[in-house]
Amino acid sequence: MRMQMPKATDDSPVLVKGLRKSFGKQTVLDGINFSVRAGETVAVLGRSGTGKSVLLKLLIGLEKPDSGSIRILGQEIAGLDMDALNEIRKKMGFLFQQSALYDSLSVEQNVEFPLRRHSKLAEGERKQRVRELLSNVGLEGDLKKMPSEISGGMQKRVALARALALGPEVVLFDEPTTGLDPITASEIGNLIVDLQKQHHITSVVVTHDMHAAKNFSDRMVLLNEGAIRAEGTFQDFQRSNDEFVKHYLREAA
């Protein structure tokens, strides 16, 4: 069942049409159409193995589709060479499930890393930018700490600050609340909402956390057996008569 939502236009920052991806004989995504409007946060839900993380990898160009179109910020990315793809990636942020911080770098150095590689800021400007980013996620007092010295929730915050370092227009989140206690998970969800409001970022969030998705997303998309089974607001999902949707809500509660 597809719930009725306003249609995205061809200038949507994320626009997917007829996307197919298989691994051997296993079809993971079977011709899905998916879009995210400017400034919108969309949560992608589904059981394990339904293609959620594969979708993120396709959106950032880590995997190539078998067929279909992927347009990011108006650019078709499926056939780009690495140099052109990296130019698009500079306009995107990615928050990995396990934070993926560099163990040998301090909190400050982790956030500064993309600025060193991809910006022309002078050292003083980079340091100021890093302080601002860490202040935005509540870690302005932890610049010199190493990743091993901070909690999992704090590591997620550092990773989020790093994902925002280059001022991306689109941010992809892979399970941002996994492994966190309920209070910390709620804080991360609230942080996603606050950053979206402040910077008008377009976000795609893959998550198993229905409670978090309800709080931080404008719209939810439910994948099943390679297809989009339902999409809409949390309230739309609650009103659905689709048995799979009702079962998923019960199991995720």
Supply the pTM of this predicted model: 0.87
Task: State how far the alpha carbon of 16 is from the alpha carbons of 170, 205, 228, in Å.
Answer: 14, 15, 12
Does residue 6 carry a pLDDT above 60?
no
* CA gap 40, 171 in Å, rounded: 11
- 143 and 232 in one domain? no
**Mean per-residue pLDDT of the chain:** 88
135 and 39 both lie in a single domain: no
- 159: closest CA among 193, 198, 111, 192? 111
2 in a structural domain: no
User: How confident is the model at residue 220, as a pLDDT?
Assistant: 95
188 and 219 housed in the same domain: yes
- 207, 179: one domain: yes
Radius of gyration from C-alpha coordinates of the chain? 18
Checking if the pLDDT of 61 tops 50, the result is yes
> Per residue in 145-171, is it b (16+ CB within 10 Å) or e — as a string?
ebbeebeebbbbbbbbbbbbbbebbbb
At residue 198, the pLDDT reads 82
The share of the chain scoring above pLDDT 70, in percent, equals 96
- Asked if residue 215 and residue 141 are part of one domain, the reply reads no
Structural domain of 34: 14-91+168-252
Residue 4 has pLDDT above 50, yes or no: no
**Looking at the chain, which runs of residues are DSSP E strands?**
14-23, 26-36, 41-45, 67-72, 75-76, 92-95, 170-174, 202-206, 219-224, 227-232
- Residue 153 in tokens: 């929730």
- Tally of structural domains, the chain: 2
Contact 195, 202 (CB under 8 A): no
- The structure tokens listed for 74 are 């108006």
Phi and psi torsions of 141, nearest 5°: -95, 5
Task: Name the domain boundary from 158, 180, 204.
Answer: 158
CA separation for the pair 155, 202 (Å, rounded)? 22
User: How much of the chain exceeds pLDDT 90, in percent?
Assistant: 54
pLDDT of 96 reads 80
Pairing between β-strand 75-76 and β-strand 67-72 as defined by DSSP bridges: antiparallel
Could you tell me if 23 and 81 lie in one domain?
yes
